[in-house]
Chains A and B, each alone.
Chain A
């Protein structure tokens, strides 16, 4: 397992750059990861979605799917795409320090 330094902390990541231990995550890391994803500033609306995903993963053990986010966080799909352009479920999972949402093969 590879490690890298984000916001001054050493964390474990997989080959696609997703953190593998959600417990190593904090808000400063999120800000850095968001920048890497092309989001220069995390607004309140972003944090609402990130926090929902963290909570959801705590109970289910995995990052929520796009549909689970829109139903659960009370945000429309359109808004979600505006907040996290192109592949929001994957993007928010990475910023929230969760694994990649489980795709169905």
Chain B
């Protein structure tokens, strides 16, 4: 029996285990998944919780629902990886040997890395929606908040789902309109980026949308510390922003076990080939999802397209064929823009998000970089697809690599 160990049973780990269980001969392969948490979280849903659109039950399911036939899930923290000896030590005392290792341990928030952030005001006037508990606490806070200055701050990039802070602000604009207090709320976005978003075309178009919605952007803002008692944030270049309510996207880092095992970079992400996900250091280790240093978005859609190309490549690899540079950095994100509308962006390593139409037989076309109601429905429909198709490794009617069809060259 060949042994394949998958560390992390989140979005990427679950998808890849399911996909490979279909592609590999399960009489010859033993697939073992490891995760410290028995619950699978639908992380895209966290965004909608603060506004009462989703609750806890919408975003959790037991992980064992998604373990493919013939594979095994061990629920335990991971103690250490020894890549030189092809083995993994688990906190429950188990040692797992492997022929191939897939690391899918994701990324998580580290509010403790920013002085003052997770101290006495944490959960009171300082919140995050980047964890389930955080999103639920923020929902409570928002439901009784009387208005004031709401500051959304991204501590440092890369972050999971780079569009989520923008969506949060646009949904907040809608939410406070509905509550009849929008005139008493000031919305500010303090971001390390030079504008609303990374690449020129989308940054301009999204920036204009924020202006229309009365959301102010404070660009190139690198936070140094929070002064929780004075209720202000201070940047390295000493720009102070006062807040009544701070919604933080704390520093994101890969799993501590990656650093402890000597596999990570300065943020505990594992260096990989960005087209194949093969580790730079070990020929039998692949890294999927947020855990790698590939310069693609840390997002479920990227993990999905990555798994699509990886499955085929892995089968070649175990037959002794070389890996093909199949993954192009494709990402495809619905953005909630409030008032029942949404946007869609579609891009890859080479092509920035462009306006146009995204064709999808039967449902689309969706509008790219432009608000429409169909995009909002696309986003809500996605949760069903996630639980029922995506995690189980089913093919979706979407191409894994990006297509220029329908896009307007800006």
User: Residues of A with Cβ closer than 8 Å to B?
Assistant: 66-68, 71, 77-78, 80-81, 85-87, 90, 102-105
Extra pairs beyond A67-B156, A77-B236, A102-B295 (13, CB < 8 Å): A67-B267, A68-B265, A81-B222, A81-B237, A87-B220, A90-B194, A103-B157, A103-B193, A103-B198, A104-B159, A104-B295, A105-B331, A105-B347
Contacts of B121 in A (CB 8 A): none
Contacts of A87 in B (CB 8 A): 194, 220
Question: Is B199 a contact of A105 with CB atoms below 8 Å?
Answer: yes
Question: Is A105 a contact of B353 with CB atoms below 8 Å?
Answer: yes
CA distance A86 to B219 in the complex (A): 10
Instruction: Mark each residue of chain B from 247 to 274: 1 if its CB lies under 8 Å from any CB of chain A, else 0.
Output: 0000000000000000001110000000
Q: Is B224 interfacial (CB-CB < 8 Å)?
A: yes
Distance to closest chain B CB from A19 (angstroms): 19
Most B CB contacts (10 A, CB to CB) among A68, A71, A86 go to: A86
Chain B residue at minimum C-beta to C-beta distance from A77: B236
Contacts of A103 in B (CB 8 A): 157, 193, 198-199
Contact of A86 with B220 at beta-carbon distance under 8 Å, contacts A77-B236, A105-B347 already known: yes
Distance to closest chain A CB from B254 (angstroms): 13
Question: Is A66 a contact of B267 with CB atoms below 8 Å?
Answer: no
Question: Is A104 a contact of B297 with CB atoms below 8 Å?
Answer: yes
9 interchain residue pairs of minimum CB distance: A104-B158, A81-B236, A103-B198, A71-B266, A87-B220, A102-B295, A105-B198, A81-B237, A86-B220
Chain B residue at minimum C-beta to C-beta distance from A69: B266
* Among candidates B198, B236, B237, residue contacting A104 with C-beta atoms closer than 8 Å: B198
Contacts of B347 in A (CB 8 A): 105
User: Residues of B with Cβ closer than 8 Å to A?
Assistant: 156-159, 162, 193-194, 197-199, 220, 222, 224, 236-237, 265-267, 295-298, 331, 347, 352-353
CA distance A90 to B220 in the complex (A): 10
Distance to closest chain A CB from B330 (angstroms): 11
Question: Is A68 a contact of B297 with CB atoms below 8 Å?
Answer: no
CA distance A67 to B113 in the complex (A): 13
CA distance A90 to B296 in the complex (A): 19
Contacts of B198 in A (CB 8 A): 103-105
Chain B residue at minimum C-beta to C-beta distance from A16: B200
Contacts of B265 in A (CB 8 A): 68
Distance to closest chain B CB from A7 (angstroms): 26
- In the assembled complex, 24 residue pairs joining A and B whose CB atoms fall closer than 8 Å, in A order, are A66-B222, A67-B266, A67-B267, A68-B265, A68-B266, A77-B236, A78-B224, A80-B236, A81-B222, A86-B220, A102-B295, A103-B157, A103-B193, A103-B199, A104-B158, A104-B198, A104-B295, A104-B297, A104-B298, A105-B198, A105-B199, A105-B297, A105-B352, A105-B353
Chain B residue at minimum C-beta to C-beta distance from A78: B236
Contacts of B298 in A (CB 8 A): 104
Contacts of B296 in A (CB 8 A): 104-105
Contacts of B224 in A (CB 8 A): 77-78
Contacts of B193 in A (CB 8 A): 103
Distance to closest chain A CB from B349 (angstroms): 9
Chain B residue at minimum C-beta to C-beta distance from A15: B200
Distance to closest chain B CB from A103 (angstroms): 4
Chain B residue at minimum C-beta to C-beta distance from A86: B220
Chain A residue at minimum C-beta to C-beta distance from B347: A105
Chain A residue at minimum C-beta to C-beta distance from B159: A104
Chain A residue at minimum C-beta to C-beta distance from B329: A105
Contacts of B295 in A (CB 8 A): 102, 104
CA distance A66 to B237 in the complex (A): 14
Contacts of A85 in B (CB 8 A): 237
CA distance A15 to B220 in the complex (A): 20
CA distance A80 to B236 in the complex (A): 9
Question: Is A104 a contact of B220 with CB atoms below 8 Å?
Answer: no
CA distance A35 to B118 in the complex (A): 40
CA distance A104 to B298 in the complex (A): 8
CA distance A86 to B236 in the complex (A): 9
CA distance A90 to B222 in the complex (A): 13
Distance to closest chain A CB from B274 (angstroms): 10
Chain A residue at minimum C-beta to C-beta distance from B295: A102
CA distance A71 to B267 in the complex (A): 10
CA distance A105 to B158 in the complex (A): 9
Contacts of B236 in A (CB 8 A): 77-78, 80-81
* Among candidates B156, B162, B220, B237, residue contacting A105 with C-beta atoms closer than 8 Å: B162
Most B CB contacts (10 A, CB to CB) among A80, A85, A105 go to: A105
Contacts of A105 in B (CB 8 A): 162, 197-199, 296-297, 331, 347, 352-353
